[in-house]
Amino acid sequence: MAKLTIDGKQIEVPDGTRLFDACHEARGEALPHFCYHPDLSIAGVCRLCQVEVEGMPKLTIACNTTVRDDMVVHTRNERVQTAVKQILEMHLINHPVDCPICDQAGECGLQDQYMDYGLYESEIEMGDKVNKEKAQVIGPHVILDKERCVLCSRCVRFCEEITKTGELGIYNRGDRAEIGTAPGVELDNNYSLNTVDICPVGALTSRDFRFQKRVWMLRATPSICPGCATGCNVRVDHEGGRVYRLKPRRNDDVNGPWMCDSGRMIYKDVHAEGRLGSALVRRDGGLESLSWADARRELLGMLKPGSVAFALADPSLSLEELVLFRRLARRLAGEVQIAGGVAGDGLGEGDEILLSSDRRPNRHALSWLDLAEVAPADLAAALEGARGTVLVLGGDPVAHLEVAAALKGVRLVYLGTRHNATAAAADLVIPLSMWPEKDALWANKQGRIQRGQRAVAAPGDAREDWRLLVDMLGHAGDDLDLAGLPALRRFVAQELGLADEDSLNRLPAAGLVPDVAVASPGSAPTGGE
Amino acid sequence: MSYKGLPEVVTTRKRSFWESAYFVEIFKGLVVTGRHVLKNLRHTDEMPTIQYPDQKRDYGPRFRGRHRLTQRDDGSPKCVACQMCSTVCPADCIEIEAAEHPNPAIEKFPETFTIDLLRCVYCGLCEEACPCDAIRMDTGIYEIAADTREAFIVDKEFLLNNDKDGTL
Amino acid sequence: MLPVILEALLKIIFFFILIMGFVVVLIWGERKGSAFIQDRTGPNRASIGGIRLAGLVHPVADVFKLLFKEDVAPSQRHPFLYAFAPWLGMVVAMTTYTVIPFGDFLQIGDKVYPMVVADLEIGMLFVLAISSLATYGIALGGWASNSKYTFLGSMRATAQMVSYEITMGLALMGLFLVFGSLRLTDIVGGQGELIWGWLPKWGVVVQPLGFLLFMGAIYAETNRTPFDMSERDSEIVAGYHTEYSSMKFALFFMAEYAHMVVAAALIATLYFGGYQIPWLPRPVLEGHAGPILTGLLVAGGLCSIWIGTLYFRRARREKGWYNDAREREPGVLGTAAVVGGLVMLGSLLLQPWNIGAGGGSIFVSLIQTGAFIGKLVFFAWLFIWVRWTVPSFRYDQVMHLGWKIMLPAGLVNLVVTALWLAAVHR
Ligand code: SF4
Ligand code: SF4
Ligand code: SF4
Ligand code: SF4
Ligand code: FES
């Protein structure tokens, strides 16, 4: 442990700590900085994190200094302030200051530092500035404005150290130096948008988000990316009922500060064409939309205990929904005819960084709940000759041709979010909410339960899905009584056999890896027949 | 009359006999108002009333009238869709959708720009916030009328050529 | 029999037209007068073909507006009384006129017609009895609407009426003592005399305190400011007629002005000599009927032509102000005035100075009616003038004034008058 004094405050930090982090801890806020990033190597190029260390003749940069015992450090004295101000002025010499059209405005390091440390009158005429290329598309997701770059090299280091693809580099010298890609090279790795996140200014911006919204108008809701079994922690930025972008949230146990590009784009499904807005019922061969009250009556009428031949839930449902589904399915049908997803659905290619080959956010929970996957051929065989209702929650099993062929003679009830093959083949379609539209728990591939909060309202008639399931349960004769989310989470904890009933209501920030006995039997359904 | 614990704030003067006799005071009042009647009968033209649609008040050059969007030399809006105005607007009545401008030197421009004149409180914060001098309230137009609520939501084309007075 | 009915009918029609005309003009006068008192221009927009008559077209437009407006009525009303109340107010106001003389008599040939619809023995008592019925209009209207504001309005009106009716009666008793009759024609006739040969024996001269009390009481009786307890907008919305709309509201509205006309006529009749012109009793006027008529015609003609030229000057000045039909107005009015003046002057050709005895008598009757109407107009204007000059009383002040000041004063006035008369007649 090293004891040091920062701005007159004594603190004790482990040996080998960076002075930058020690100052952050002592001051309660970070030093001004552009190039330092805790997950990247030290570059020490922006020179903004200047501090005065007693005994050293010159100011020094905190990010490249390791703490020593008895260090006496000043971060706010006149000398440091002047230095920071002058360095900032240097950064801004050739900066175009086109904040009005810059997407970074509002979350820009330059703007923040200027307001905190700058506030000087510029001595540079606009005409004297060195002009570089603006609005250059450098990849499928990223657009580069070379004028705005402060050459902190974060993006270069990211591509070298994290993705190890090395597309970006700094070319030329002096005030001609600029970020760029080699001729013929594109910044097209699946993590390219992280460079946009770490770029402290508006040099690298997202093509997808470009000009969509000013960032200060957005509201942020913490959530979990449903794109794959990794379960990256994300922030849903939304406004007026519309999701505009996803940003990663730091969770060092899951995704660190990063997330992949395909995950970032997944929000588009929420507002894409083909969302189910109202319930549909088959009449005279075609699907007609139905009011919610009628749809509910129709749904409850179709689900009589014993009348359900097969119940299938996709692991894209949340943990609560899967738990309720299991209970409902057990009540309506015999155990053999329940399955959790179609084997082989939702698999893709993964990589070593974050993306998992399992593209379902909740497949891990299936094993907890003893919901086996069913192969398409087995599903087809089970449906062949079956009588009664087939209940499908989420997913798209009918996309498998053999399943589609086996559907004759059964009534298909589909609760889902999209107009897909299953919806087209169903006799009754009930719209569900998608992931940013509900407060839900997800179990990632580590078995870590994480919570995503509700950011926007679902379109049309879709409701809180768990309430719909409880409603169906009640109609099936179950006297399960869940007043609200805390009660629901307690019920889920019971079903999983967790020691602490309230543990799911008090999830730690990093999520909870519970000690679940594999294939928890769950409670027996209660209530009279 | 005074209330316990409260200081006597209003002090009433004692009225003299003739004042409380009331009729004398009424008569004095009648003389005052009567003088006004006679004056106005004789000099009807000098009444302070402005006969509104026929006569109009001249407002100062800084009067905040209906908004307009200033134009570049080619007639396109100067606005770069930075949305400073819609951010600062206390009535939240400016809606802007930005888009990529074909000219890379301009980069960003408003695809749509609407102001709900019914919601606007004519505070002038939008023109003050604009970094590009793109929105101004110097038209001097204050007669803003329309038959439907929708007509008060004016679009970019209207704001670019906003010089006609009267009904929307 | 028939001529009697016909005669009564003609007089009734005369009064009806007089009152309705006055109501329209008074509504206009109220708006225009209040405007001028407050340095505004008042109504000046409505026009018929550009002729606005300083806003006189507005009441006409108002009538049409009110006729065609939806009649919104509260669902919990008492249906019959709700509809009946406005009529009651109007009918009462009209009935009171029957006993008010607007001239002494009209002699056509050998026949002499008294210029009053019904010359009742009980005259003034009839007026008091009927006019107190007006409270029923207000009380019923407020109660039948079944709303707390209207109810408050009618309660106030009733209380106020009860308080001030007494004062009014006491004030009038002094007058009855002086003139020795309840018959209004007698009272007016008595006011034609002179005291000491130069002072007209008007009610206001012989009963100054009584006059003031009567004035106050009659203002309260008509619910006019400063006694507008029953319709104080700032306290009880619009008082008793809050729930009325369309023509029913218009009836209440007109009844208020009709009451004003009655009140003005009563003040003129009881205290200002009615149709009497001071120092010019009927014989004097009849003796000089020819010259007076000639003088009036010449003066009227010249005035009219002068007014016409003023209008023409205005027409020149206002050219290009409006660029619409309104520009025609001064020209049209000016032409009308000049033509009227020329007609008056032209009638000199008929030798009006040779009017003769029969014509002279008719002419004098007309002049006396004119004098009555002139007095009536002044007192009606006084109502408006007072309303836009003084603030209204608080409710407790109204009660204080009525019971503790005016009632004792009325008693004192009665006693003093009686003692004085007793002393004089001893
Ligand atoms: S990078 Fe920052 S300072 Fe530069 S234009 Fe963009 S918002 Fe403004
Ligand atoms: S583009 Fe952004 S991250 Fe990259 S060097 Fe420039 S400022 Fe830094
Ligand atoms: S004048 Fe004020 S209220 Fe109106 S648009 Fe501008 S900022 Fe908004
Ligand atoms: S502030 Fe000016 S430039 Fe920015 S969006 Fe508004 S009008 Fe356009
Ligand atoms: S943060 Fe230390 S030099 Fe950039």
Does A101 reach chain B within 8 Å, measured CB to CB? yes
For chain A, percent of residues with pLDDT exceeding 70: 97
3-state secondary structure chain B: CCCCCCCCCCCCCCCCHHHHCCHHHHHHHHHHHHHHHHHHHHCHHHCCCCCCCCCCCCCCCCCCCCCEECECCCCCECCCCCCHHHHHCCCCCEEEEEEECCCCCCCEEEEEEEEECCCCCCCCHHHHHCCCCCEECCCCCCCCCCCCCHHHEECHHHHHCCCCCCCC
Residue A253 near residue A450 (C-beta atoms within 8 A):
no
Asked if B51 and C40 come within 8 Å (Cβ–Cβ), the reply is no
Q: Is B107 exposed, middle or buried (0-12, 13-18, 19+ CB in 10 A)?
A: buried
Rounded Cα distance between A315 and A361, Å, is 7
What is the complex's ipTM, to 2 decimals?
A: 0.79
Q: Is B94 in the pocket of ligand 3 (CB under 6 A)?
A: yes
Residue of A107, A201, A205, A210 to mutate, ligand 1, most atoms within 8 A of C-beta: A201
Which pLDDT score is estimated for C186? 81
Neighbours of A424 (CB within 10 A): 13
The atom of ligand 4 lying closest to the CA of B129 is 1
pLDDT mean across residues, chain A: 91
Which pLDDT score is estimated for A232? 95
Asked if B87 and A214 come within 8 Å (Cβ–Cβ), the reply is yes
User: What average pLDDT does the segment A347-359 reach?
Assistant: 92
Sequence-ordered list of residues with C-beta below 8 angstroms from that of C128, at least 6 positions apart, any chain = C165, C168, C169, C172
For chain C, percent of residues with pLDDT exceeding 70: 99
Higher pLDDT, A343 or A209: A209
Q: Is B118 in the pocket of ligand 3 (CB under 6 A)?
A: no
Q: Is pLDDT at C333 greater than 90 in this prediction?
A: no
**Ligand nearest the Cα atom of residue B69:** 4
Q: Residue A271 Cα, ligand 1 centroid: separation in angstroms?
A: 30
Of A101, A134, A212, the CB nearest to B82: A101
Chain B contact probe: residue of C37, C44, C307, C404 with most B CBs at under 10 A? C37
Asked if B107 and A101 come within 8 Å (Cβ–Cβ), the reply is yes
Contacts of C41 in chain B (CB under 8 A): 44, 47, 49, 51
Higher pLDDT, C100 or A15: A15
What pLDDT, in 10s, does the model give residues C200-232? 888 788 888 888 889 888 888 888 878 877 777
**Which range is least confidently modeled, A154-158, A192-196, A383-387, B158-162?**
A383-387
- Taking CB atoms and an 8 Å cut-off, how many pairs form between chains A and B? 32
Of B33, B48, B54, the CB nearest to C385: B33
Residue A94 near residue A126 (C-beta atoms within 8 A):
no
3-state DSSP call for residue A144? Answer: strand
Contacts of B32 in chain C (CB under 8 A): 389
Q: Is A48 in the pocket of ligand 5 (CB under 6 A)?
A: yes
Which pLDDT score is estimated for C102? 78
Contacts of B99 in chain A (CB under 8 A): 211
Q: Residue A203 Cα, ligand 1 centroid: separation in angstroms?
A: 8
Helix boundaries (H) for C272-355: 282-287, 289-317, 328-346
**Ligand nearest the Cα atom of residue A107:** 1
What pLDDT, in 10s, does the model give residues A272-292? 999 998 999 998 888 999 999
Q: Is pLDDT at A481 greater than 90 in this prediction?
A: no
**Which range is least confidently modeled, A177-181, A446-450, C234-238, C258-262?**
C234-238
Residue with tokens 């003769």: C356
User: What average pLDDT does the segment A330-335 reach?
Assistant: 74
Q: Residue A206 Cα, ligand 1 centroid: separation in angstroms?
A: 14
Helix boundaries (H) for A116-241: 154-161, 193-198
Q: Is pLDDT at A335 greater than 70 in this prediction?
A: no
Cis peptide leading into residue C226 (ω within 30°): yes
Contacts of C389 in chain B (CB under 8 A): 26, 29-30, 32-33
Q: Is B132 in the pocket of ligand 4 (CB under 6 A)?
A: yes
What pLDDT, in 10s, does the model give residues A238-249? 999 999 999 999
Q: Is B88 in the pocket of ligand 4 (CB under 6 A)?
A: no
CA dihedral A476, A482, A486, A488 (to 10 degrees): -10
Contacts of A105 in chain B (CB under 8 A): 82
Q: Is A215 in the pocket of ligand 1 (CB under 6 A)?
A: no
Which pLDDT score is estimated for A336? 59
User: What average pLDDT does the segment A196-205 reach?
Assistant: 96
Residue A488 near residue A320 (C-beta atoms within 8 A):
yes
What is the DSSP code (8-state) at residue C276? P
Choose among A235, A240, A243: nearest CA to A433. Answer: A243
- Closest chain C C-alpha to B54 CA, distance in angstroms: 6
Q: Residue B128 Cα, ligand 3 centroid: separation in angstroms?
A: 10
pLDDT mean across residues, chain B: 86
What pLDDT, in 10s, does the model give residues A387-446? 788 999 999 999 998 888 888 878 899 999 999 999 999 999 999 999 999 999 999 999
Q: Is pLDDT at A529 greater than 60 in this prediction?
A: no
- Cα first-last separation, chain C: 46
Q: Is A18 in the pocket of ligand 5 (CB under 6 A)?
A: no
User: What average pLDDT does the segment C149-169 reach?
Assistant: 86
Of C36, C37, C321, the CB nearest to B54: C321
Contacts of B107 in chain A (CB under 8 A): 98, 101, 134-135
What pLDDT, in 10s, does the model give residues B109-135? 999 999 999 999 999 999 999 999 999
Q: Is pLDDT at A165 greater than 50 in this prediction?
A: yes
Which pLDDT score is estimated for B4? 66
For chain A, the maximum distance between any two Cα atoms, rounded to a whole number of angstroms, is 89
Q: Is pLDDT at C108 greater than 80 in this prediction?
A: no
Q: Residue B125 Cα, ligand 3 centroid: separation in angstroms?
A: 6
3-state DSSP call for residue A11? Answer: strand
What pLDDT, in 10s, does the model give residues A16-43? 999 999 999 999 999 999 999 999 999 9
pLDDT mean across residues, chain C: 84
- Closest chain A C-alpha to B161 CA, distance in angstroms: 24
Q: Residue B59 Cα, ligand 4 centroid: separation in angstroms?
A: 26
Asked if B36 and C390 come within 8 Å (Cβ–Cβ), the reply is no
**How far is Cα of residue B54 from the mean position of the Cα atoms in its chain?**
20
Q: In whole angstroms, how far apart are CA A7 and each of A24, A61, A109?
A: 12, 16, 24
Amino acid identity of residue A107, one-letter, is E
The atom of ligand 2 lying closest to the CA of A158 is 3
Residue with tokens 């770490």: A198
The atom of ligand 3 lying closest to the CA of B135 is 6
What pLDDT, in 10s, does the model give residues B68-86? 999 999 888 999 999 999 9
Asked if B51 and C388 come within 8 Å (Cβ–Cβ), the reply is no
Is the backbone of residue A498 left (phi > 0), alpha (psi -120 to 50) or beta?
beta
Which pLDDT score is estimated for B7? 65
Residue with tokens 């407050």: C38
Does B53 reach chain C within 8 Å, measured CB to CB? no
Crossing angle between the packed helical segments C246-271 and C356-387, to the nearest 10 degrees: 120
User: Which helix or strand (DSSP H or E) is residue A71 part of?
Assistant: strand A71-74
Q: Is pLDDT at C1 greater than 70 in this prediction?
A: no
Q: Is pLDDT at A334 greater than 70 in this prediction?
A: no
Contacts of B47 in chain C (CB under 8 A): 39-41
Choose among C367, C222, C342: nearest CA to C292. Answer: C367
Q: Is B95 in the pocket of ligand 3 (CB under 6 A)?
A: no
Touching partners of C (3+ C-beta pairs < 8 Å): B
Sign of the alpha-carbon torsion through C208, C214, C216, C219: negative
Asked if C41 and B44 come within 8 Å (Cβ–Cβ), the reply is yes
Q: Is pLDDT at A137 greater than 90 in this prediction?
A: yes
For chain A, percent of residues with pLDDT exceeding 90: 72
Q: Which span out of A189-203, A378-392, C338-352 was modeled with the highest average pLDDT?
A: A189-203
Residue C270 near residue C225 (C-beta atoms within 8 A):
no
Which pLDDT score is estimated for A106? 93
User: What average pLDDT does the segment C405-411 reach?
Assistant: 90
- Cα first-last separation, chain B: 58
Residue A427 near residue A281 (C-beta atoms within 8 A):
yes
Q: What is this structure's pTM?
A: 0.72
Q: Is pLDDT at A523 greater than 60 in this prediction?
A: no
Q: Is pLDDT at A528 greater than 50 in this prediction?
A: no
Q: Is B140 in the pocket of ligand 3 (CB under 6 A)?
A: no
